[in-house]
Amino acid sequence: MINKVKKGSSLVSVLVTLGILITVGTAVMSLSVSDYKSRILESKRVKNLYESESGLEEAYGVLGSIVDEAVDEGNKKVDEYMVNLNEVLKEDNIVKVQNSVFKPSYRENVKSNIDKIMEEDSGIILNHNENSPEVKIITLKEDIKFNDKGILTLVLQSSFTTESPEGKKQQRIIKATYNIETPDYNNPYAVETEKISVPMRSIWSKALVVEKNLNANGDLTVNGDIFVRGNTNSGGDEGIIISGGNNSINISGNAVTLKDTLLSSPSNTFNMNNINGNLYTGSLSIQKSASDSKINIKGRVYANNDLVLNGVQSNITIEKGFYGFNDVSGLKEVDNKEKNSSSILVNARDIGNGSSITIGGEAMLMGTAYIKTDPNYQTGESVAIKGNYRAYSAPLQSDPDKNLNEDNVVLEYRSPLQLVTKFKDNTELNFKDKSKYFELYSKTEKNKLKINGISLPDKTIRSGSIISTDSKGKAVVLGENYTNDELSNIKAKKDNYSQAVGEVDAITQEIDFNKINQPIEVITSSKDETEVIYVKNDNKAIVLTKEGYNSASGEKVYLKDGKGKGIIITKGDVYLDGPINFSGTIITEGNLIVTGVGKKELNYDAEYLKKLIALNLNKFEGLFKKPAPSDYQMVEIRSDIKSDNKVISTLRNNYITTQNWKIIK
């Protein structure tokens, strides 16, 4: 019992002691907090007193005025930009665009005014008279700039004199750092839009649609797709033609012609520099007259006829594949077979020693070459080099099956050559028999053949023998390998070609020029370029050219500084003459002729074109013969942005903050 009383007394003593300690501690903390608050208040009072006396408060006002002016100028720049805006903006992009205009203007104005103080007043921001404080910017001029966070830092120093109650004067120096921040353009807005449903005709999807020929006697770059029908019925060269010397065509989209693509003069170049850009053509050819010429295609070539290399010192490179899908199996007219049998033909005498053909990806050669004899002679070669036809004039003894040996075949005279034509039983040799004949000849008489300068991919489907280069760089002769298993693959390539060439009808089937009672000729120039809407139904040539350029004959459409955009639809030829850059589309029932010095550039701008069509839909839709397609797109033609208010210059402390305030003396 006594022990329990002692334990209770000890507990009471501990509790009393703790109570006393807590009371004392609380009192001490209260005094400390009170003293701290008093010190802070006194510091602020002293700071405010010194700021008032030193002129820093007034200097803060000067900086505030600079910020006010910069905000006003930024708002004006945004207003001007929005009024002159010539494009449709999505709502979530409006503030971003407004800030991209406002902030640079704001910063430029702030810095300009501070630079002016530094240059004209030696950095003195305040100095009314000799009795007033002098406040000076002491930041080095080269350091006065906005940082990546949009903050400009200034260090101001004030020198002033105070007088004690006893009348004693004392100089004071105070320094403070000011941060001028960049506000956001905070402009509530509302957007009102107007949209029109535009039928998407395939003819609108091209930078260039030409019913006859594209003849480049100058340099042409096309950023977009082109369609050239080549419908001249002239009997001469038709399609995409690069003539004249040292000229080029560069295309970044697809190129389609129902006729041929050919280079006809020295040092010409045909480039397709987009891996997704394909060429759909009849034949692709460097002619004999086009020495030192180049064809470079990063995409694929779909050819309804041959790949031809006749010019010396010339090269053809096709990176993703060549599909010569036209074979002779279904043709009955002998005279047409050579025009419809896809193969590679080489007449360049320096093949393998200056000239070359390189094809990557995959290849398809469904035809074989013909020799111009009387009558024409079909060979067994899907890759034929001039001079190698000697193989069909030489009797064989090397066929292990004995079928093609000398004692089982007949050689006949086909002027001017003696050529193997049939078996002894009068059965004609077909192209597969001749392919094997050529392959057998190459095994024993390889040194008599031209077999260098050709490189084809491992995956090459062919109806006849080919010449290529193996993985070790060695020239090889390979026989035909076509089987019926490839039919679906061949059909797919033919379908790709048919879809491309059938995408645009003949212009006479697309457009009814008789509906153009009055020509449409709207040509407007801004400070940067000329916009053209030109629709005419006569055969007179028009010339698209730079202002002041001495151009070819025809009706002139002048472009300011050679820059323009719009839509041109005409029955006559169109000349691109001199240095020009044109965005939109050109549609002509005639020829497109590139001439004159300087680069010509055509750009397909889908968004601009859709809007221009939408704004003039009644003018354009009335021209077409066929009903509008079911494929429509909604095109925004008007977007009004209505503002409620702008950045205001009220709470300057949101934009100007003070730090590192210090009494130096």
Nearest CA to 247 out of 235, 226, 230, 263 is that of 263
- Cα maximum dimension of the chain: 146
pLDDT band, residue 193 (cuts 50/70/90): low
> pLDDT (tens digit, 9 = 90+) per residue, 596-612?
999 999 999 999 999 99
Q: In the structure encoding, which two tokens stand for residue 385, read together?
A: 């080099």
> pLDDT (tens digit, 9 = 90+) per residue, 56-86?
878 888 888 898 888 889 888 888 887 666 5
User: If you search the block for the tokens 């501070």, which residue do you land on?
Assistant: 114
Strand pairing partners for 580?
600
Tell me: pLDDT of 41 over 70: no
d(CA 477, CA 437) in angstroms, rounded, equals: 12
Q: Could you tell me if 261 and 290 are in contact, meaning their C-beta atoms sit under 8 angstroms apart?
A: no
d(CA 378, CA 414) in angstroms, rounded, equals: 11
pLDDT band, residue 43 (cuts 50/70/90): low
Provide the whole-model pTM.
Answer: 0.71
Q: Could you tell me if 561 and 644 are in contact, meaning their C-beta atoms sit under 8 angstroms apart?
A: no
Angle at 427 between CA 423 and CA 432, to 5 degrees: 80
The confidence score (pLDDT) of residue 506 equals 92
The confidence score (pLDDT) of residue 126 equals 80
pLDDT band, residue 30 (cuts 50/70/90): low
User: If you search the block for the tokens 């055969």, which residue do you land on?
Assistant: 539
d(CA 322, CA 333) in angstroms, rounded, equals: 26
The confidence score (pLDDT) of residue 12 equals 64
The confidence score (pLDDT) of residue 44 equals 47
pLDDT band, residue 37 (cuts 50/70/90): low
Amino acid letter, 313: Q
Among the ranges given (160-174, 427-441, 517-531, 543-557), the one the predictor scored with the smallest mean pLDDT:
160-174
d(CA 111, CA 118) in angstroms, rounded, equals: 10
d(CA 281, CA 304) in angstroms, rounded, equals: 6
DSSP string, 378-400: E-SBSEEETTGGGGGGS-----T
Mean pLDDT along residues 657-661: 81
What is the pairing mode between strands 134-137 and 151-163?
A: antiparallel
Tell me: pLDDT of 633 over 90: no
Q: Could you tell me if 504 and 202 are in contact, meaning their C-beta atoms sit under 8 angstroms apart?
A: yes
The confidence score (pLDDT) of residue 205 equals 95
The confidence score (pLDDT) of residue 266 equals 98
At 665 the three-state DSSP class reads coil
The confidence score (pLDDT) of residue 89 equals 62
> pLDDT (tens digit, 9 = 90+) per residue, 275-328?
999 999 999 999 999 999 999 999 999 999 999 999 999 999 999 999 999 875
Q: Could you tell me if 142 and 62 are in contact, meaning their C-beta atoms sit under 8 angstroms apart?
A: no
Mean pLDDT along residues 542-554: 86
Q: In the structure encoding, which two tokens stand for residue 430, read together?
A: 């077909």
The confidence score (pLDDT) of residue 35 equals 52
Q: Could you tell me if 335 and 274 are in contact, meaning their C-beta atoms sit under 8 angstroms apart?
A: no
Tell me: pLDDT of 593 over 70: yes
The confidence score (pLDDT) of residue 581 equals 97
Amino acid letter, 38: S
More confident position, 165 or 157: 157
Question: Rounded mean pLDDT of the chain?
Answer: 86
Q: Could you tell me if 289 and 315 are in contact, meaning their C-beta atoms sit under 8 angstroms apart?
A: no
The top-scoring range by mean pLDDT among 168-177, 239-248, 542-551 is: 239-248
Which residues make Cβ contacts (< 8 Å) with residue 377, sequence separation at least 6? 370, 371, 392, 414, 417, 419, 421
The confidence score (pLDDT) of residue 332 equals 39
Which residues make Cβ contacts (< 8 Å) with residue 333, sequence separation at least 6? none
More confident position, 383 or 622: 383
Mean pLDDT along residues 524-540: 91
E strand or H helix at 642: strand 632-643
Q: In the structure encoding, which two tokens stand for residue 94, read together?
A: 């409006």
More confident position, 26 or 421: 421
Mean pLDDT along residues 46-53: 50
d(CA 448, CA 458) in angstroms, rounded, equals: 25
The confidence score (pLDDT) of residue 96 equals 84
The confidence score (pLDDT) of residue 279 equals 99
pLDDT band, residue 153 (cuts 50/70/90): very high
d(CA 336, CA 326) in angstroms, rounded, equals: 12
Nearest CA to 160 out of 179, 139, 136 is that of 136
Tell me: pLDDT of 50 over 70: no
The confidence score (pLDDT) of residue 649 equals 41
Q: In the structure encoding, which two tokens stand for residue 157, read together?
A: 């120093």
What is the pairing mode between strands 363-365 and 460-462?
A: parallel
Tell me: pLDDT of 2 over 70: no
pLDDT band, residue 639 (cuts 50/70/90): low
Q: In the structure encoding, which two tokens stand for residue 120, read together?
A: 């004209």
Nearest CA to 592 out of 543, 628, 665 is that of 543
CA distances to 362, 381, 494 from 488, in Å = 16, 23, 10
d(CA 510, CA 589) in angstroms, rounded, equals: 10
The confidence score (pLDDT) of residue 548 equals 83
What is the pairing mode between strands 363-365 and 248-251?
A: unpaired
Mean pLDDT along residues 444-466: 96
User: If you search the block for the tokens 């779909």, which residue do you land on?
Assistant: 302
> pLDDT (tens digit, 9 = 90+) per residue, 317-344?
999 999 999 875 544 344 445 556 899 9
